[in-house]
Amino acid sequence: MATAKNVTVIPATLNLHTGTPKASNKKRRVAGYARVSTDSDEQFTSYEAQVDYYTNYIQSRPEWEFVEVYTDEGISALNTKRREGFKRMIVDALNGKIDLIVTKSVSRFARNTVDSLTTVRDLKDKGVEVYFEKENIWTMDSKGEFLITIMSSIAQEESRSISENVTWGQRKRFADGKVSIPYKHFLGYKKGTDGLPEIVPEEAKIVRDIYRMFMEGMTTCAIANHLTKNEIPTPSGKQKWQRQTVESILRNEKYKGSALLQKKYTVDFLQKKMKVNEGEVPQYYVEHSHPAIIVPEEWERVQLELNRRKDDNRRTLCNSPFAGKLICGDCGEILGSKVWHSNSKYRRTIWQCNAKFKGDKKCTTPHLYEDDIKRCFVTALSQLITDREALLEDGRMIMRQLEDTTAIDTECEELIQEMDVVTELIKKCVNDNTTQAIDQEEYISKYNSLVERHEKLQSRYDYLKKKKERRLQQYDKMSYFVFAVIELDELELQFHPALWHTTVDRVTVFADERLLFHFKNGSEVEVRM
């Protein structure tokens, strides 16, 4: 007869999750977490109220020991990257300083399901429990993680819905032509009493100075250094200007009284990741939306000059209007500036071929003094505008011809239609080969023929698009040239950097001291020094 088994149950003495003795009278170290963002909260109306509530709530429990109320004010719960109070609390908990965290709800803790579950699991591994008061969820409970997953997902979808509603509201305002300017980080404007942008005279002067200095030949880097040296604060209130900040001011269409809306858009509502709009979502261009600081024609001339400098591969750091525009008649190299007698009263700036002493053959073109360049420019321009009305009429006729791109547009449309047809033929060819028994040599020949046809169409289309772009660039050059000639006063004709940039394309310097001025209307005028 088998002996009966005697089983003795040895009771657990340690808490399964916390590792603390069950019979221990040791108090649980408890921290509260409070967060207030732009969201409304039905229970707590303020940051201070939440802090006071959790302090009293924890201290009122005799079995709990109050640690601290960790807080984040005005921070979104979508992720934990910028929540410094939250991150400090988690570090303290993982380091054994906290046994229990009390917070209002899952949505206060995190609206990102992944963040929420990852954090809870990390804490659980260290024996730290989280109590979500609103949902009555204890993370050490067997159903805790399941409930958190559900509630976090719901909170995340709520955030998605809010984000979509906000985005829709913004785009509705854009479509209505309502301009929004980040005034705290924008130079020249403030929000007026009517809610519309209002010019700040002192700041507007800085903007106009930036545009003036640029058209006088200064680089964006040089302008930034000038502003920093003169202790003029940046749009965001910093002391040091950057080249990119200056360029953004020169590029911003709001300074001419117009606004391009939705330049960027939110890609990921969880991470708040922004992307430059390259056609993925609509943009809205509002003309005459607010008072202009820069005359539109001047703003357009600046854009042309920005593009000219960008397209010029022979970049220079010189702050002169002559940089990149003086060409050696011997070798085709540009003339660069050199300083003579830099440390004496005889200091002078001259312009000399950059390749003059390179190679075996020395360029014979002479060096130029800036005063001579200015004088010759005035002489050449005076000759050019002898018959101003005829010059303007020719310019306007050329502009009309350049502006008319009907033939190019028509051919582009035809090419697009034909490419669509060829694309469908390629798809059919591939599909037939996968579903039918076809001679492979015949298939490859047909396929390659269609692809070649499509490539030719695409090449022609790309050529026409570039051709149209070049025509419009030429149109811009001509329009600024015509505008400059209209504004000229024959009796007071003198050198000005803006006039130089607007009218002169380049100047070729020859060995016999001839200067050939190539003007932006296509005219050429030769002047001897």
218: confidence class by pLDDT, cuts 50, 70, 90: confident
Question: Does residue 349 have a pLDDT over 80?
Answer: yes
Classify residue 434: in a domain, yes or no. Answer: yes
94: confidence class by pLDDT, cuts 50, 70, 90: very high
Q: Which domain holds residue 49?
A: 28-162
| Total residue length of the chain | 529
Q: Clarify whether residues 356 and 370 are in a common domain.
A: yes
Q: Clarify whether residues 59 and 140 are in a common domain.
A: yes
Q: Clarify whether residues 202 and 283 are in a common domain.
A: yes
Look at residues 281, 311, 341 and tell me which one is the last residue of a structural domain. Answer: 311
The C-alpha atoms of residue 77 and residue 269 are separated, in whole angstroms, by: 11
Q: Clarify whether residues 68 and 141 are in a common domain.
A: yes
Mean pLDDT over residues 414-436, rounded? 90
Q: Clarify whether residues 108 and 249 are in a common domain.
A: no
Mean pLDDT lowest for which of 218-227, 328-337, 342-351? 342-351
Phi, psi of 509 (to 5 degrees): -105, 125
Classify residue 428: in a domain, yes or no. Answer: yes
Q: What is the pLDDT of residues 171-208, one digit of tens each?
A: 455 455 566 677 788 898 888 887 788 899 999 999 99
- 469 CB-near residues (< 8 Å, 6+ apart): none
Count structural domains, the chain: 4
Classify residue 267: in a domain, yes or no. Answer: yes
Residue 9: Cβ-neighbour burial (10 angstroms; 0-12, 13-18, 19+): exposed
- Rounded-to-10 torsion of CA 268, 269, 274, 277: 80
Q: What is the pLDDT of residues 509-519, one digit of tens each?
A: 999 999 999 99
Cα–Cα distances (Å) from 167 to 75, 264, 498, in that order, read 19, 12, 42
Q: Clarify whether residues 122 and 257 are in a common domain.
A: no
Q: Clarify whether residues 219 and 94 are in a common domain.
A: no
The C-alpha atoms of residue 63 and residue 242 are separated, in whole angstroms, by: 58
Q: Give ∠ CA 325-328-331 in degrees, rounded to 5.
A: 130
Q: Clarify whether residues 45 and 138 are in a common domain.
A: yes
Classify residue 319: in a domain, yes or no. Answer: no
Look at residues 311, 334, 368 and tell me which one is the last residue of a structural domain. Answer: 311
Can you say whether residue 23 is alpha, beta or left, with left for phi > 0 and alpha for psi between -120 and 50 degrees? Answer: alpha
CB 132 within 8 A of CB 116: no
Mean pLDDT over residues 286-308, rounded? 82
Helix (H, G, I), strand (E, B) or coil at 304: helix
Question: Does residue 40 have a pLDDT over 50?
Answer: no
Classify residue 10: in a domain, yes or no. Answer: no
2: confidence class by pLDDT, cuts 50, 70, 90: low
The C-alpha atoms of residue 331 and residue 363 are separated, in whole angstroms, by: 7
Instruction: For tokens 């201070």, name the residue.
Output: 48
Cα–Cα distances (Å) from 26 to 3, 213, 379, in that order, read 44, 73, 97
Classify residue 8: in a domain, yes or no. Answer: no
213: confidence class by pLDDT, cuts 50, 70, 90: confident
Q: Clarify whether residues 351 and 410 are in a common domain.
A: no
Amino acid at 479: S
CATH at residue 219? 3.90.1750.20
Q: Could you give the count of Cα atoms lying within 13 Å of 359 in the half-sphere of its Cβ?
A: 9
Classify residue 393: in a domain, yes or no. Answer: no
Q: Clarify whether residues 372 and 494 are in a common domain.
A: yes
Classify residue 12: in a domain, yes or no. Answer: no
Question: Does residue 244 have a pLDDT over 60?
Answer: yes
Q: Clarify whether residues 70 and 112 are in a common domain.
A: yes
Which pLDDT does position 17 carry in this prediction? 45
Q: Clarify whether residues 224 and 152 are in a common domain.
A: no
